[in-house]
Amino acid sequence: MTATLRDTVLGIAEDAAASAVAVAAYDFEHHTTWSVNAHRWFHAASTIKVPVLLAVYEAIEQHRFAPFSRVHVRNRFLSMVDGKPFRVGPERDANAAVHAALGRMLTVHELAEHMIVTSSNLATNLLLDLVGVEAARESLARLHLGGIDLQRGVEDEAAWEAGINNRVTAAGLCDAMRLIEEGRAISPEASQAMLDILHQQQFRSGIPAGLPEDARVANKTGEISTVAHDAGIVYLDGRDAYVVVILTEWAADVNGRRQETIARISRAVYEYMTGHKG
């Protein structure tokens, strides 16, 4: 059965002309894992926002600030490479609401929702500046999360040109999502708060699109010119949840079937997990 799923996943990726694929899954129903290429590194794209969320909630747990603490919304950040200022262009952000709040205040909780639910890059950088990149990395280390390499904020072009990027593995993201579902990420209360945010995700053309209509999914997507990812916790009636992370890499000129490919792989994993076909 496992070999068949591996062949199916690799076949889907090959059919779509993906350059690489990695999948990691954990089933709470049977306490089993399944993976292919789970430790291969990929550019994280916006999936890095899940580790940032973890760091934010650890800082809340440490009483550095509270969910209702207010943050001044600005669009000026310093590159980690040369210290020069850069900004997040509105055309490079999936969310217009945070840009509309420039010069005003939003709460930490509001920024966290914007970061995850509509993948706001501006909200991400504001939160990462608030927490600190090194402090965020230390949070991940305390959670014993390997396979996640948080290096910088988003849209730091100087860092990108220097080859300094956020990276993830399917195994690393799977472990992070497991901690949240199990209530072991920071604290049960913090885990539930993060789960509530992930359940509001608006981008549903990846993992959720491959599932039955009554499935519930808490997920975070990520896509740039060369990668398309989705990491989610899947809830189905009559059984315990499972975590699935699907990472894909593409040539820049191959862009027509990325979300469809993730959805097809999601369907294959669902059928493997549940025994339901068709």
pLDDT at 3: 61
Q: Which of 228, 277, 195 is nearest to 16 (CA)?
A: 228
pLDDT at 241: 98
pLDDT at 190: 97
pLDDT at 1: 45
Whether residue 226 lies inside any domain: the answer is yes
Whether residue 29 lies inside any domain: the answer is yes
Whether residue 145 lies inside any domain: the answer is no
Interatomic CA distance for residues 64 and 66, integer angstroms: 7
As for how many domains the chain has, the answer is: 1
CB atoms within 10 A of CB 144: 8
State which residues of the chain have pLDDT below 70: 1-3, 255, 278
Interatomic CA distance for residues 10 and 18, integer angstroms: 9
CATH of the domain at 221: 3.40.710.10
pLDDT at 185: 95
Whether residue 120 lies inside any domain: the answer is no
Whether residue 66 lies inside any domain: the answer is no
Domain span including residue 20: 2-40+169-274
Whether residue 33 lies inside any domain: the answer is yes
Contact 121, 48 (CB under 8 A): no
Q: Which of 206, 250, 259, 260 is nearest to 225 (CA)?
A: 250
Rounding to the nearest 10 degrees, give the CA dihedral for residues 202, 206, 211, 215.
Answer: -30
Both tokens of residue 57?
């909630």
Whether residue 205 lies inside any domain: the answer is yes
Whether residue 212 lies inside any domain: the answer is yes
Both tokens of residue 218?
């808490």
pLDDT tens-place string over residues 236-268: 999 999 999 999 999 988 867 999 999 999 999
pLDDT tens-place string over residues 43-54: 999 999 999 999
